[in-house]
């Protein structure tokens, strides 16, 4: 402890987007923060919960703003804890879902600074859920698999193939730029009529939800909003989305003329 306050770091999950989907415990941590380091949060409104006098540093990698490397962020966390006291590290969704939380915790703790984690509502489940798409459904899907399409080195993940070979509900994060490669790969193991949904900016007012089948996945490209993060859901549970059958019926009718 060098500054006037005890040096501690709290990793807080901000939830999937809408500012009222942060947990009460996360909110309390924000109210007690001496400084906040935040990512490219999907829902920026959450920042309004933080007192105006509290410094807020954007360390995200989106929006073409100055981007910090993971090493820069680790160092900044330690410097901020020594200088200010209580650092809240605000991360989208849950900190432990593709959030590099373990790296930050390891680095900060190596300086003897205690770290605690406040879980968040992950977009992987909450975004489909808020659209009425269940992860599991009795008699339809008894498991779900959350994955990213590419590995650390940028190569295509084998996990996608393993999941596609099973009957699990597939939830792919950070996959929009490879949407057609993903659907082609999954289409090798699942039927052409397998339902798929892409939900962008889930839980926010400008949310965009598109549902179709693997066969028609290429049509999704023109319907997606550039620059918005999205979750891809593949599996029969997507048919439970309120507009899935309506859209299919319209396509069948339309294709007859």
Ligand X SMILES: C[S@@+](CC[C@H](N)C(=O)[O-])C[C@H]1O[C@@H](n2cnc3c(N)ncnc32)[C@H](O)[C@@H]1O
Q: Which residues of this protein are in contact with ligand X, per CB under 6 A? A: 16-17, 42, 91-94, 97-99, 122-124, 127, 173-174, 199-203, 229-231
Q: What minimum distance in Å lies between the beta carbon of 163 and ligand X? A: 16
Q: Which two tokens stand for residue 180?
A: 């057609």
Q: Do 134 and 143 meet the contact criterion of CB atoms below 8 Å apart?
A: no
For ligand X, the closer of residues 37 and 231 by Cβ is 231
Q: Do 231 and 97 meet the contact criterion of CB atoms below 8 Å apart?
A: no
For ligand X, the closer of residues 168 and 201 by Cβ is 201
Catalytic entry in 39, 91, 147, 178: 39
For the chain, how big is the Rg over CA atoms in Å? 20
The closest of 202, 207, 193, 206 to 238, measured between CA atoms, is: 193
Q: What minimum distance in Å lies between the beta carbon of 20 and ligand X? A: 13
For ligand X, the closer of residues 9 and 204 by Cβ is 204
Catalytic entry in 28, 44, 56, 61: 61
Angle (CA) 116-78-122 rounded to 5° is 40
Annotation says 39 is catalytic: yes
Residues linked to residue 212 through DSSP beta bridges, in sequence order: 196
Catalytic entry in 56, 174, 228, 236: 174
Classified as helix, coil or strand, 206 is: coil
Closest-by-Cβ residue to ligand X is: 93
For ligand X, the closer of residues 91 and 241 by Cβ is 91
On the CB side of 166, CA atoms within 13 Å amount to 12
Q: What minimum distance in Å lies between the beta carbon of 44 and ligand X? A: 12
For ligand X, the closer of residues 46 and 85 by Cβ is 46
Q: What minimum distance in Å lies between the beta carbon of 43 and ligand X? A: 7
Q: What minimum distance in Å lies between the beta carbon of 245 and ligand X? A: 23
Q: Please give the C-alpha separations between residue 182 and each of 31, 99, 198, in angstroms, as whole numbers.
A: 41, 22, 12
Residue 158's contacts (CB-CB under 8 Å, 6 or more residues apart) are none
- Which residues are marked as active site? 39, 61, 174
């Amino acid at each position: 402890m060098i500054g006037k306050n005890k040096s501690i770091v709290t990793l807080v999950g901000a939830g999937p987007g809408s500012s009222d989907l942060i947990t009460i415990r996360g909110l309390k941590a924000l109210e007690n923060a001496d400084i906040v380091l935040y990512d490219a949060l999907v829902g920026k409104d959450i920042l309004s919960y933080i007192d105006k006098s509290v410094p807020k540093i954007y360390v995200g990698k989106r929006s073409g703003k100055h981007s910090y490397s993971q090493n820069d962020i680790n160092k900044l966390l330690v410097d901020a804890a020594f200088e200010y006291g209580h650092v809240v590290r605000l991360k989208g969704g849950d900190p432990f879902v593709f959030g590099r939380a373990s790296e930050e915790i390891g680095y900060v703790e190596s300086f003897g600074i205690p770290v605690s984690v406040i879980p968040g509502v992950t977009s992987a489940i909450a975004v489909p859920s808020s659209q009425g798409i269940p992860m599991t459904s009795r008699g339809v899907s008894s498991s779900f698999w959350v994955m990213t399409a590419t590995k650390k080195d940028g190569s295509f993940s084998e996990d996608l193939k393993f999941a596609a070979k099973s009957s699990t509900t597939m939830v792919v994060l950070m996959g929009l730029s490879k949407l057609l490669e993903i659907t082609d790969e999954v289409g090798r193991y699942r039927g052409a009529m397998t339902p798929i949904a892409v939900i962008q900016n889930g839980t926010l007012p400008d949310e965009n939800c598109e549902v179709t089948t693997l066969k028609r996945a290429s049509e999704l490209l023109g319907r997606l909003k550039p620059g918005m993060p999205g979750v891809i859901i593949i599996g029969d549970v997507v048919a439970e989305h309120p507009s899935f059958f309506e859209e299919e019926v319209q396509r069948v009718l339309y294709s007859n003329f």
